[in-house]
């Protein structure tokens, strides 16, 4: 396959020491001192129809209700909490709800919180008043300290509708506090890992479900001609589930599809060199963006995340497979031309591989990228085959 120009070449460290410092300015709302106002629950009423698949004797339910009624969980302003411990130690009939998330069947559905977010909260006050504004989109960068000036310029292009999350591959996090904005963003640090390694571990769809769009970007993008809000508007206008900004320069190092077109707002298809595309609706002529600066809708990400392999950390080959996640892919994957970025090609982590068998660190990383691509393609093809053969055997055709 021809063009091998990819974004930052990154190699995982052999070291198993994984340092994960999630510096969240404020920890999760784990404030158990229930000195809250009485509006919260003056009385707890029993939900009559908890969709339980277990046979719970009606007598048991009645006993439970009666016991709840006898323990008025009144929170009064002066004394703080009253009777909370009584309710906390009440005997609860057996619950088992098969439609609950796996592993949580014993919980009443009303208490289950299966999704999360990266909102930073306070340790005091009303939880409902913690946030002045809930960011709607999530922007992640995989960064090293040396690229701080580029990132400083980049974050300015995103309004307060965007939450920023930095993945640090060089272990340097506190130094970023020289930037005022750094104190309001989330920092995750694990040495010498790649963007897709972090994405698989920290951007589970249930964790980022609060965000309509998720940016998974490299650190070396020149962002002078880019604006986050305008970008999102165009993505929505054209109904793109997976997108990227057009790339400059048009120096022949990149795929035709991802090059910025000066005459367009957005494009979904392109022409490659003769013979490169078996079908004009398939990669690399359509249904395709590169892995250096993709933007996913919440739904597309829910699918793509599942396709990322834990051990194939460079993500090579993923770009050709993104089309598996949206339908029709040639209409829902596209490149935004009027908000574009410059690929500066600074392979920061690429130089952090290790020399091996006479190969330079850069070359050992590059070799792994290529073999990961082959391995990923093989796994995907085998998975297709196994599934489709299975259908045939089961007479579903
Ligand atoms: C970050 O960028 C802003 C301009 O966008 C600039 O004023 C500021 O000095 C930069 N901060 C540092 C520490 O370089």
- Ligand 1 atom 10 nearest Cα: 152
pLDDT of residue 69: 82
pLDDT of residue 252: 59
pLDDT at 111: 97
pLDDT tens digit string along 54-69?
577 888 889 988 888 8
Q: Which CATH number fits domain 137-385: 3.90.550, 3.90.75, 3.30.460, 1.10.1660?
A: 3.90.550
Nearest CA to ligand 1 atom 5: 153
Between 248 and 193, residue with greater pLDDT: 193
Is residue 22 scored above 50 in pLDDT?
no
Highest mean pLDDT: which of 70-84, 295-309, 358-372?
Answer: 295-309
Q: Which of 152, 175, 222, 226 to mutate to test the pocket of ligand 1 (most atoms within 8 A of CB)?
A: 152
Flag whether pLDDT at 186 surpasses 70.
yes
For residue 393, what pLDDT band results from cuts at 50, 70 and 90? confident
Instruction: For ligand 1, say whether the CB of 178 is within 6 Å of any of its atoms.
Output: yes
Residue 31 has pLDDT above 50, yes or no: no
**Which of these, 2, 68, 66, 82, lies nearest to 34 by C-alpha position?**
82
Best-predicted range by mean pLDDT (6-20, 70-84, 177-191, 274-288): 177-191
Average pLDDT over residues 5-33: 38
Please report the atom of ligand 1 found closest to the CA of residue 156. Answer: 5
The predicted pLDDT at position 146 comes to 94
The pLDDT-based confidence of 36 (bands split at 50, 70, 90) is very low
Model pLDDT, residue 256: 87
Q: Encode pLDDT of 367-390 as tens digits.
A: 999 999 999 999 999 999 999 999
pLDDT band at 13 (very low <50, low <70, confident <90, very high): very low
Tell me the pLDDT of the chain averaged across its residues: 84
Residue nearest to atom 12 of ligand 1 (CA): 179
Can you give the pLDDT at residue 132? 92
What are φ and ψ of residue 34, in 5° steps?
A: -85, 70
For the cut 70, the answer to whether the pLDDT of residue 34 exceeds it is no
Minimum mean pLDDT range among 30-39, 82-91, 233-242, 282-291? 30-39
The rounded distance, in Å, linking the Cα atoms of 11 and 90 is 53
State both tokens at 66.
């009666």
Taking the CA of residue 152 as reference, the ligand 1 atom at the shortest distance is 1
Please choose, from the candidates 72, 69, 63, 86, the residue with its C-alpha nearest in 3D space to the C-alpha of residue 41.
Answer: 72
- The CB-based long-range contact list for 73-77 (8 Å cut-off, 24+ gap) reads 73/41, 73/42, 73/43, 73/44, 74/38, 74/42, 74/43, 75/34, 75/36, 75/37, 75/38, 75/40, 75/41, 75/42, 76/38, 77/37, 77/38
Hey, where are the domains in the chain? 34-112, 137-385
pLDDT at 251: 62
- Check residue 319 and give its pLDDT: 94
Percent of the chain residues past pLDDT 70, beyond the cut: 80
Structure confidence by residue, pLDDT tens digits, 317-365:
999 999 999 999 999 999 999 999 998 877 566 656 777 778 888 889 9
Residue 5, pLDDT score: 44
Q: Is 79 in the pocket of ligand 1 (CB under 6 A)?
A: no
Phi (first) and psi of residue 347, to 5 degrees? -80, 70
Predicted pLDDT of residue 347: 59
């Amino acid at each position: 396959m021809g063009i091998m120009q990819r974004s930052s070449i990154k190699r995982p460290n052999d070291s198993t020491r994984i340092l994960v410092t999630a510096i969240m300015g404020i920890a999760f709302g784990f404030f158990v001192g229930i000195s809250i106002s009485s509006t919260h629950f003056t009385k707890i009423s029993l939900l009559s129809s908890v969709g339980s698949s277990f046979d719970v004797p009606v007598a048991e339910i009645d006993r439970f209700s009666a016991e709840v009624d006898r323990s008025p969980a009144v929170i009064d302003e002066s004394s703080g909490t009253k009777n909370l411990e009584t309710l906390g130690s009440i005997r609860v009939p057996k619950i088992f709800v098969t439609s609950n998330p796996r592993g949580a069947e014993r919980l009443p559905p009303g208490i289950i919180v299966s999704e999360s977010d990266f909102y930073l909260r306070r340790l005091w006050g009303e939880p409902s008043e913690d946030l002045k504004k809930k960011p709607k989109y999530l922007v992640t960068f995989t960064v090293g300290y040396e690229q701080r000036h580029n990132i400083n310029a980049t974050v300015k292009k995103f309004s307060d509708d965007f939450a920023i999350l930095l993945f640090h591959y060089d272990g340097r996090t506190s130094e970023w506090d020289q930037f005022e904005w750094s104190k309001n963003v989330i920092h995750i640090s694990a040495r010498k890992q790649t963007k897709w390694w972090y994405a698989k571990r920290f951007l589970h769809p249930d964790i980022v479900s609060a965000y309509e769009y998720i940016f998974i970007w490299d650190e070396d993008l020149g962002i002078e001609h880019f604006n986050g809000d305008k970008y999102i508007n165009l993505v929505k206008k054209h109904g793109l589930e997976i997108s990227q900004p057009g790339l400059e320069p048009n120096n022949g190092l990149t795929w035709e599809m991802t090059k910025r077109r000066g005459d367009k707002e957005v494009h979904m298809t392109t022409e490659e060199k003769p013979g490169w595309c078996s079908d004009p609706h398939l990669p690399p002529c359509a249904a395709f963006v590169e892995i250096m600066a993709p933007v996913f809708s919440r739904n597309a990400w829910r699918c793509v995340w599942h396709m990322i392999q834990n051990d194939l950390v460079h993500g090579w080959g993923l770009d050709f497979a993104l089309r598996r996640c949206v339908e029709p892919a040639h209409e829902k994957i596209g490149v935004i031309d009027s908000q574009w970025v410059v690929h500066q090609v600074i392979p920061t982590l690429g130089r952090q591989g290790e020399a091996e068998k006479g190969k330079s660190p850069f070359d050992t990383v590059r070799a792994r990228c290529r073999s990961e691509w082959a391995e990923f393609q093989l796994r995907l093809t085998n998975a297709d085959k196994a599934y489709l053969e299975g259908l045939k055997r089961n007479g579903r055709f």
